[in-house]
Amino acid sequence: MGNLASALTLQSDEAALVEELRAGSEEAFAWLLARYHQPIFSLLARTVHDRADAADLTQEVFVKVFRGVGGFHGQSSLRTWIYRIALREASNQRRWWVRHKQREIPIEQEVAEGESGTPVRLKEMLVDPAESPFDTVLHAENQERVERALSLVPEPFRTTLILRDIEGFVYEEVAEMQGVNLGTVKSRLVRGRAYLKAQLQAPARSTHPAARTDLGLPLREEAR
């Protein structure tokens, strides 16, 4: 009963906060910024190409939250709704970057089926290891190296890894944010962990994204 009472209290508190936000309360919006600004910036800094862009996007996210809160009807938690807005902004920014920056390797590139090494099998994709590579290595290596390796994990696997293993969202929340089913979330998570582990265990090998061609099925063959 204690957990239920706590959940009901949180829902009641969130409903009250949403009403305050809808009413234009500066205090409520200030609380929201204090609570979510740093987590949202951290998420965006890991999913776009430039920290300055991440800072700008963070401001844009909260502008959209403020303007759009009237349309929030509680189908999900307020936290999930805010993160969905942030992910949409990050996706838009990445598409703009690919179109206008003319980089050699697009961030949304497909990964070919493995022709060398041991490919990840579908059944292995649906396994949820007890501890992620991020958790394992973070205790032994400095955070900068882990963040650098994380930045080399291609989308959409990187975002899934961030949401689940770093931000701590449950599978259902990640699925809702990304608009996919649970099987796809688990598939992306295991592939993301495999990419991250490969980067952390082989620092001397090429980290160019084009070299990563042996870690699973093409994106189009993921479960949808």
CA dihedral 122, 124, 128, 134 (to 10 degrees): -110
Tell me what pLDDT residue 206 has.
46
* Residue-level pLDDT at 44: 92
Q: Is 214 exposed, middle or buried (0-12, 13-18, 19+ CB in 10 A)?
A: middle
- Tell me which residue of 179, 182, 189, 112 sits closest to 158, measured CA to CA: 189
Residue 11 has pLDDT above 70, yes or no: no
Tens-place pLDDT, residues 25-59: 889 999 999 999 999 999 999 888 788 888 999 99
Report d(CA 77, CA 213) in Å as an integer: 38
Question: Which DSSP string corresponds to 165-199?
Answer: IIS---HHHHHHHHT--HHHHHHHHHHHHHHHHHH
Which residue, among 120, 129, 137, has the nearest Cα to 200 in the 3D structure?
137
**Of the ranges 25-34, 139-148, 193-202, which one carries the lowest mean pLDDT score?**
139-148
Domains in the chain, please, with CATH?
2-101 (1.10.1740.10), 122-219 (1.10.10.10)
Residue range 61-65: mean pLDDT, rounded: 92
Confidence of residue 62 (pLDDT cuts 50, 70, 90): very high
pLDDT of residue 101: 58
Crossing angle of helices 78-101/26-47, nearest 10°?
40
By percentage, how much of the chain surpasses pLDDT 90? 33
What does the block give as tokens for 155?
């989308």
Mean pLDDT throughout 151-180? 91
* Long-range pairs, 58-67, Cβ under 8 A, ≥24: 58/86, 60/89, 61/85, 61/86, 61/89, 62/32, 62/33, 62/36, 62/37, 64/89, 65/32, 66/21, 66/29
Residue 154's pLDDT band, with cuts at 50, 70 and 90, is very high
**Confidence check: pLDDT of 144 > 70:** yes
pLDDT confidence of residue 14: 84
> Looking at residue 2, what is its pLDDT?
46
Between 59 and 101, where is the model more confident? Answer: 59
**156 preceded by a cis bond (ω within 30 of 0):** yes
Neighbours of 129 (CB within 10 A): 12
The whole-chain average pLDDT of the chain stands at 74
Three-state SS for 70-101 is HHCCCCCCHHHHHHHHHHHHHHHHHHHHHHHH
pLDDT recorded at residue 139: 57
Does residue 84 surpass a pLDDT of 90?
yes
